[in-house]
Each structure stands twice: as structure tokens, then as C-alpha cells.
Amino acid sequence: MHVVVIGLGAMGYGIASALHRAGMNVCGFDMREEVEANFSKLTGLAIDRKTALAQADCVVSVVVNASQTENALFGEDGIIKDLKSGAVIISCATIAAEEAIKFEQSASEHGFLYLDAPISGGALRAAQGKLSVMASGSTEAFDKAEPVLAAMAEKLFRLGDKAGNGSAMKSVNQLLAGVHIAATIEAFAFGLSQGVSADQLMEVIPHCAGTSWMFENRGAYIADGDYRPHSANDIFIKDLNIVQHAAQMSALDLPLTETALALFKETSKQGMGKQGDVAGLKLYAEQAGLALPPARYEEA
């Protein structure tokens, strides 16, 4: 199986490594030459882009958003010019369902299969091949992508026979994830204001009904004074904007999502958009004069 992975950020690099470990012939492309070179060293393969695409049975696109996906697939230097006819494109970026529908249509017009397949689980699980994949698309696309999906996912959810359903599910997940990160921030601010330490929160809350995946994951960063962009604040501005836009089309107000989005936006406005997505805690701390766990990573 020949696979091309586009986008070697934390998630893409992890996925590409997992596919390589599963015995596939994997080429990785990235805007940053040194990252591409690193991955080539890992696999021992150094094939030019044109050749790699001409051989590829499957492309996994792990870029950041819809416009990057569009450029990477169908843009001036997009892959479809060189991609082997009939290949399946697995698109993992968090995008609006309507964009996924559009991309499936374009792919089909050019003779390719398309899978709307957003992912969840973080960089560590990506590298372990243990992601959750929320996928929808044609039976042909699923069949052709099967070995790749098996190597990257612990949980593969088949959510229907056309693009859009996978992205719709992912947008619900991002609503929850974004609100839970903001809730984690607010809970730490409140706890610190009441004399409860960050370490006590991390000891107790995971055993109580107030816990969440995000509390346990992002709370550890807060307690550790880690504001590095494992996932940047601005990512959730993008993702919650997708949620808000889709909800507006359905005449649905989402007041909690709006409140969480306002925090991420204000954090960005204060110059912390490229920091980790718990940076908004500093705004609460400033407001109420709270002492946060000392920031330990100066590069943030």
C-alpha cells in the first residue's frame, strides 16, 4: 500500500509514523522542508513528490482548515494533477460539513474517491495509531481506505454513505471540546480564588462528576505552567466559528459556545493566540489578582 500524508504537524506526523510502522510505504509532505526531511529519515524513503503521488493508493490530508484542504487537493500546486487515478483521499481537517460535501463532489469529478474523516484523540494517540475517526463516504471509498483506517484508528465510526456526516459529528465534538477547555480555565480560576490549589484540583476532580477529557488533559498543562501550543488558542476560534455558522443556518442559538468563543477571541486579542489554548486563564488571573502555577516554558 502506497500512502501520501499531507501536513506533518503533530497529528499528521503521528499518523504518518503509525502507517509506516504498520508496514506501509509512506511519503510525507509538509510546507516545512526540515520536517519533511525528518520524516524521510524515519522511513528511509526519499521519493520526489510527483512519483510518490503517481504511486499512491491513498492520500491522508491532515492540514488545518478548509482553505488549506482546498489548496492542497485542488489548488494550483494541488495533488490531483499528479495523483494516481482512482486513489482515495482521506480528509482529516476539521471543516464545515458543507465544505466536505463540496470536496467530495470535486474529487469525484476528477476521478478520485473521498472520505470525510475528521479525527480526535491528540498527537500521542495519533502516533500510536489509536485515533477515533468520524468517517462518512461511499462504500468504495471505505473499502479502498480500509487498511489505512485500520492502522490509524482504534475506533472507526462509519457515519453514513456521503461526505458531511463525519464533519457534522466532528463539529459537535469541537463544541464540547471548546466549551470544556473554557470550563477548565474557569474552574481553575475559581478554585484558585477559593484557596484550592491546582495540584489539589488535578488530584480530586478526575474522580468526581465534574471531570472531562479536556479537564484532565488541559488541567495537567495548567498545573504544570505549560502554555506551549500543543493545541493553539486560535484553533478553537476557527472550530467554534464553524459551529456557530452551522447553528445559525439552523436558526439555533448556542450561548455557551458563544461564551467560550468570546474567551478564545479575547485571549487572541491580548496577543496570546499562538499560545496553548489554556492561555485564557491569564485573563482571569489578571482580573482577580490570582497567583497561577509559574509558567515553566519560556518559549510560550
Residues in CB range of 165: below 8 A, 6 or more apart:
97, 116, 136, 159
Residue 62 as a binder of a copy of itself (CB under 8 A): the answer is: no
Residue 85 as a binder of a copy of itself (CB under 8 A): the answer is: no
Pick the piece of the chain touching a copy of itself (CB under 8 A) from 21-29, 35-43, 142-150, 175-183. Answer: 175-183
Give CA–CA dist 62/8, Å, rounded. 7
Q: Which of 255, 294, 298, 299 binds a copy of itself (CB under 8 A)?
A: 255
Residue 256 as a binder of a copy of itself (CB under 8 A): the answer is: yes
Question: CA distances (Å), 142 to each of 29, 133, 156, 177, 216, in order?
Answer: 23, 12, 11, 27, 33
Select 37 or 124, whichever has its Cβ closest to a copy of itself: 124
Give CA–CA dist 296/178, Å, rounded. 24
Residue 262 as a binder of a copy of itself (CB under 8 A): the answer is: yes
Instruction: Kindly name the residue from 144, 170, 265, 282 that is annotated as catalytic.
Output: 170
CB of 110 to a copy of itself, least distance (A): 27
Length of the chain equals 300
Alpha helices in 44-89 (DSSP H): 49-55, 66-74
Residue 235 as a binder of a copy of itself (CB under 8 A): the answer is: no
Pick the piece of the chain touching a copy of itself (CB under 8 A) from 36-44, 49-57, 83-91, 199-207. Answer: 199-207
Q: Which of 88, 97, 151, 240 binds a copy of itself (CB under 8 A)?
A: 97
Residue 291 as a binder of a copy of itself (CB under 8 A): the answer is: no
Nearest to 73 by CA among 83, 12, 8, 168: 83
Neighbours of 204 (CB within 10 A): 13
CB of 50 to a copy of itself, least distance (A): 37
Whether 170 sits among the annotated catalytic residues: the reply is: yes
Select 45 or 290, whichever has its Cβ closest to a copy of itself: 290
Give CA–CA dist 91/43, Å, rounded. 23
Residue type, 156: L
Task: Tell how strand 113-116 and strand 131-137 pair up.
Answer: antiparallel
> Residue 114 belongs to what H/E stretch?
strand 113-116
Please provide the DSSP assignment of 152-191 as one string: HEEEEEE--SSTTHHHHHHHHHHHHHHHHHHHHHHHHHHH
Q: Which of 19, 72, 89, 134 binds a copy of itself (CB under 8 A)?
A: 134
Binding positions for a copy of itself, rule: CB under 8 A: 97, 120-122, 132, 134, 154-155, 157, 159, 165, 168-169, 171-177, 179-180, 182-184, 186-187, 189-191, 193-196, 200-201, 203-205, 207-215, 217, 243, 246-247, 250-257, 259-260, 262-263, 284, 287-290
- Known catalytic residues are 170
